[in-house]
Every structure is written in structure tokens, then in C-alpha cells.
Amino acid sequence: MYTIKQTLNSSNILECIEIENSEKTCYAKINVHQGASLQVLKLDSKIVIEDLSPLTYNNTYASSILFPFANRIKDGKYTYEGKEFQFEVNESGNNNALHGLVYNKTFQVVDQKETKDFATITFEYVETNESMGFPYTYTMQLEYVVNKNSVDIHVSVKNTDAEAFPFTLGWHPYFVSADLYNSTLNFDSNKQLVFDERCLTTGVTTIENEPDFEIKDKQLDDCFVLNTNKTQFNTPTYKLAISASSQENFLQIYTPPRANTIAIEPTTGVSDSFNNKMGLEVLKPNETHLLTWNVTIL
């Protein structure tokens, strides 16, 4: 049987949701104040996502949902429908806007279900304020479906504004390995983005697809154009498949300053997508965009 537990803070305010099966082989912890992000995940008795202490969420954006843009926007500026907009610059060193607007929002629980074989919980964030950089309203729902071998994240974004708006989506999970040096990735790509010194996309270069992408001691902050929607992470103790339901798929790989930890980020757009238009989509008024990410232990 799967159980869903609410964890309150010292002020008696909901802080986290914990999901666990009776065999304790599956566990998920979701922080409602950090964009309903998945902070811990155990599948088939293997810890695949863990607390990144001493690194902080404000610096890592660990498991955050990236919307209305993934990655960066140069100087926080973009033009849409002939009008100029300015996001808050929250990556001060590079003078970029970083990782969208919902990563630090508080989501509300709107539905949940416990069964013998799985648990589901749905979170919702309703944006009614039109910000300077993104003067539109929208509603986002995140449904987590957790079982012993996998988790699905169903993302729903509804445009509740009178105007259409541009967007990309991304997810920023960090996975842990017993030995990252001897871990590999499998993904199908023959194109890699070219970044400048501010990690902004300046072009695309052709590469040779590697059957096994060896991590070794590489310091990674790279993005690849995927030919499929699947990526596999192979570690000495487990193998993990990551997939997306999106039509256009990019893979950002980043190694943080923490041993045996790697960010494997599926996105629908790239850095500065609001300006270079790579992966950029438009959501019309009253329309809903759906996307699912799946993580399965093999």
C-alpha cells in the first residue's frame, strides 16, 4: 500500500509531501514551497535523487520545473509581437534571467490518491499577477504518479490570459551515482549547442553520436539536440531511463560542485530561446499545453 504524508513546519504550514510504499522500497519527497519540486526519490530500493546539501536550492534549482523558459535569457530581455520585455536578472554574474518564474512558487495540493500499487498527487499554482517580464496569467498543474519502479510528472499549463504567450518547459533533476567517473549516458544526438562565456546559445555544431557518453572527470555544462525523446543513465548500481512526451527535445547535462552528482535535464527549448526561437512555442488564450516526463529504473 502507498501512503501520502503531509509534513508541517514549526508554524504548522505544509512544507513537504512524502510518498512511500509499505515495503519502503519506494519513496518520494516533494517540497511545496520550492515549486513542488521532487527533492528525494527512491525507486526499487535505489536512491536516485537525494538532498544536495551542502549545496542549496537557491543555487542548484534542484528538480525545479522551468517555466515559462528553461535555462537563460540574455540580459533578461526579449521581444515578442513587436514589444520589448525585461525579466528580472537573477544570474547576476552573467547578467542573465535564469530558469523561469515558478521554481520558487508555493503550489497547493488539489488532488491525491493512494492505492496498493501506486500513489498520485496533484499540485497547482495559479498566477494572477502580470509581471513586468511576463505580463500574462496562467495556471500550472503538476501531477506526480509514483510506483516502485518509476515516476511520471504530468505537466499542464493553461493560458488564462487574453493574449497568447511564448514559452519553453524544462525539468532540472540531479541524479546521484555511487561512482560518477564510471557512469555513462546513452542518448541519440549529432548536434550540440555552442555556448559563449555566459552560457548563451550562439549556434549549433555537428558532432559524432557516441553510443556511450562517458562522464569520467568531465566538467559538464552542455546541451544536445536529441533525435529521440529518451536518455539513459548507467551507474554501477542502477540504470535509469528518462523520457519526455514533447516533440522537440534537448538535453542539458551539468556537473555541479558536488561529488558523484549530475544534472540530466530534459527541456523543450535552449538557452536564450526567447530570442533565438529554438524550441520556442506559443500558447493561445484558453488553450492548455500538456507534457509528461517519465523516470524508470531498469
Cα distance between residue 132 and residue 87, in whole Å = 7
Rg for the chain (alpha carbons), in Å? Answer: 19
Q: Is 69 helix (H, G, I), strand (E, B) or coil?
A: coil
Pairing status of strand 170-172 against strand 83-86: unpaired
Q: Residue 109: what are its φ and ψ, rounded to 5°?
A: -80, 125
Which positions ≥6 away from 81 have C-beta within 8 Å?
none
Q: 266: cis peptide before it, omega within 30°?
A: no
Which helix (H) or strand (E) is 166 found in, with range? strand 165-167
- Locate cell 493560458: which residue? 159
> Which residues of the chain carry a pLDDT beneath 70?
none
CB 37 within 8 A of CB 72: no
Domain range summary for the chain, segments of one domain joined by +: 2-174+252-297
- Locate cell 501512503: which residue? 3
Sign of the dihedral through C-alpha 276, 277, 279, 285? positive
CB 24 within 8 A of CB 135: no
How long is the chain?
A: 298
Give the pLDDT score at 92.
Answer: 86
Cα distance between residue 283 and residue 278, in whole Å = 16
- Locate cell 551542502: which residue? 54
Give the pLDDT score at 9.
Answer: 81
The one-letter code for the residue type at 133 is G
Cα distance between residue 273 and residue 192, in whole Å = 15
CB 124 within 8 A of CB 108: yes
Q: 54: cis peptide before it, omega within 30°?
A: yes
Which positions ≥6 away from 44 have C-beta within 8 Å?
25, 26, 148, 149, 238, 297
Quick one: DSSP state of residue 251? E
The one-letter code for the residue type at 75 is D
The hierarchical CATH code for the domain 2-174+252-297 is: 2.70.98.10
Cα distance between residue 108 and residue 247, in whole Å = 29
Q: Is 177 helix (H, G, I), strand (E, B) or coil?
A: coil
Cα distance between residue 190 and residue 178, in whole Å = 29
Q: Read off the C-alpha cell for 26.
A: 519506494
Q: Residue 264: what are its φ and ψ, rounded to 5°?
A: -120, 100
